[in-house]
Amino acid sequence: MAIVTGGTRGIGKAIALRLKERGLTVVASYAGNEAAAQTFTKETDIPAFKWDVGDHDACLEGCARVEAEVGPIDILVNNAGITRDGTLHRMSWDDWSEVIRINLGGCFNMAKATFPGMRERRWGRVINIGSVNGQAGQYGQVNYAAAKSGIHGFTKALAQEGAKFGVTANAIAPGYVDTDMVAAVPDTVLEKIVSNIPVGRLGHADEIARGVAFLASDNAAFITGSTLSINGGQHMY
C-alpha cells in the first residue's frame, strides 16, 4: 500500500492516480481544504486522511490509523510542501521555520512513522519530492531551497540505512510544473523561467508521477540514494 502526502491536488494527485493505475492500494494525506479532499476521494475513490505532516505526533497517529483501516504502508511518497517566498532581508523567522518544518520535517516525521514497518517486512520504497531549486538555488527562496536541498541529503542517508533491509530511498527533483503553485507566479516571471528551460515548456504533473511509479516498482530495486531530475534540462550537472 502507498501513501502520498499532499496527495489530493497538483503533483501529489497525479502521483496517487498513477500508482493506483499500477494496481496499488493508495491513500492520500492532506492538511488543508476538506472540500477539495472530499471531491478528490469522490472522483478517484482514493481515501484521504487529514493531518499536518510537520506535526510529529500527528504523523505517527495518522499512519497508525491508515494501517489499521487500510493496511501496512510499503511505499511512502513525501510530496507535501509549501512556499513562503521572500528575500532573506524581508523573510520572517516564521516564514523560514514553517517551510523547514513542513517540507523537510515532514519527510522525517513520515519516515519515522513508516520506515520501521518496511524494515521489519524487508521491503519498502521511500520517494521524496525535492526540487530543481534545492539543487540550483533560487532567488527569494532561501527557506524553500534549504528544505529541498535537505531532502536530497536526507534521502542519501536514509538509503544507506535501508539498503540491507530491502528498503530503497530515492528522490525526484522536479523542475517547474504546470500546477496551481506555479500558476500563482506572475506572468512576466513565468515567461523568464520558461525561457531558461531548454525544452521550452513547463513540465506536466504526470511526468513526475511516472518517475515516482518507476522508483516504486520492482524494476527500480537496484536504485537507491539517487535523485532523478525531471526538469526539461533546466539544471544539468
Angle between helix axes 105-121 and 142-162 (nearest 10 degrees) is 10
User: Hey, what's the cell of 146?
Assistant: 534549504
Residue of 30, 139, 144, 176 marked catalytic: 144
Q: Answer for the pair 67, 73: CB distance below 8 angstroms, yes or no.
A: yes
144 in active site: yes
Contacts of 171 (CB under 8 A, 6+ apart): 127, 128, 129, 130, 151, 152, 155, 226, 227, 228
Q: How far apart are CA 168 and CA 125, in angstroms?
A: 5
- Residue appearing with cell numbers 521511500: 126
Catalytic residues: 144
